[in-house]
Structure 1
């Protein structure tokens, strides 16, 4: 509760001060904001206190807003600050655990568990501009795309409209991830640049000569007909996902398409070994002869049977 609210309810200033002394029943959380208990505030109480400190129309943004909207943030750099957005005209400064960002572009928020938060697009970029490493920024923005309903183009447009401070790394990441679907693919693309023959396509749709869908590999060498799949355990952990992978591999086999399967962890723990495996697979595919398959752009129609989601 705000101290001013308590005073307006006939609790005089000296009583508020006395009850917040060490050993008293209350404690100060932020300037002008009190928690009516002596124990440390809970996570939600910290958020409410930050909102009270910011004043009317304040929104939680950054990582906490992303987390509350379903984004997975397991590998983010540790940060216990609460990031809030306040209207630019309000003279509020960062203090304690609260990071205050005054903005002339106050977004329309949404309430999650009675906590008003900035939309995913704004919240993810507000967080990304304060992270100084490319990989966690890429993870965060991929999450915004995959789980937050954003697109790389929309994120780039939002980034252009906002404060330029801290935008360099998010801007670089957005340029790289536009044709990709995960951080694992981004790492794969960087690793593949060192191969003697890098992939010719990323995420192409493959069809048989009579129009039956085969798969959408992460990477594809069209000259020899070699597919590369980055199969994360996290993505394939469910029974349904595992079943889709088995059916995909069966279609590869029926079409005569050789495929290299790599775990994301292999690219970080043994990049030289992964590169060597790709080189050997490429050589074997070139000696074997290319299967009769074709690459179809996303916007092209295809006649025949097959379901790209299967």
Structure 2
């Protein structure tokens, strides 16, 4: 009788050898490995060949093999904040001996190891995962792509309120030697202050900090008849707003119509919205500042201020 290994190993197609042997016998497991029906990619685990390239299967195999938790870039993937990569990162307690080096698996020995369950996988808490991935991306000879992923994860997590700036600062307080630490502190402050994209961070530094004007309010909330608008930058006392359009802005007709309706609703409430394209922002930042300054002066005259 041919045994249904998929039913034995479950939908992820991975199991500890000891668990599988307890259900089917060690002789059967050895025969399945020898016959190619099971692969042994890491110590102590087997996987189905058809599942071996799936990221979730590889991640679960790494966890089962090491008894650790997904961490660093792999934890970002599990949290939905990073791409699936060939290499899997897990963390184990620093008091344990690190296993022998294995292909496409990095094992980190850490203090204060903790984990939570994300879609059935043990994963480092988000704040720690962000800090660990940042240090990983900025240490050694890591490429700019890893740094871009780490930056995007921090921006998305803080912007979406999945983690707060004080919690991240708490993690950083315990990591004084973290590679790139100063840059991470700066980024967290920028996002917590209202810069919710790389363009807004750039815009705040090069366009929105207009000489002679009071500071703008980022992500200013305006109640509209059919919802709420959050303005990239605003001077609420003058009902003046600036919107920064990214390089991929208006990628669809629906998005364009949605923004036109929003701008019309703001105009009906008395708001003047200056909308700058990505091309103009990056090519003519000084000219954008002059337009903002002129509009600000005109609004002051209209409002008698």
| TM-score, structure 1 as length reference | 0.68
Residues 36 and 79 of structure 1, relative CA distance in 2, 3 Å threshold: closer
- Are 2:61 and 1:53 aligned? no
Match of 1:138? 151
**Unaligned stretches of 5+ residues in structure 1:** 208-213, 295-310
**Aligned mate of 2:113, from 93, 106, 111:** 106
Report matched runs for 1:190-205 at 5 Å.
190-192=205-207, 196-197=211-212, 200-203=215-218, 205=220
Give the number of aligned pairs. 275
Give 1:28's aligned residue.
Answer: 40
Residues 289 and 255 of structure 1, relative CA distance in 2, 3 Å threshold: farther
Deviation at 1:215, TM superposition (A): 6.2
Question: Alpha-carbon deviations, 1:87-110, whole Å to 9, x = none?
Answer: 222212453111212222122411
The structure, 1 or 2, with the larger RCO (C-alpha pairs under 8 Å, 6+ apart) is 1
Among 185, 189, 193, which residue is 1:175 paired with? 189
- Is 1:95 the counterpart of 2:105? The answer is no
Instruction: Pick the structure with more helix per residue.
Output: 2
State whether structure 2 residue 229 is matched by structure 1 residue 219: no
Which sits farther off after the overlay, 35-44 or 177-186? Answer: 35-44
TM-score, scaled to structure 2: 0.69
Shift of 1:179: 0.4
How far, CA to CA, are the matches of 1:166 and 1:246 in structure 2? 44
The question of whether the paired residues in 2 share the 8 Å contact of 1:223 and 1:290 is answered with no
C-alpha deviation, 1:228, in angstroms:
1.1
Q: Using the alignment, how far apart are the partners of 1:7 and 1:255 within structure 2?
A: 70
The equivalent residue for 2:243 is 229
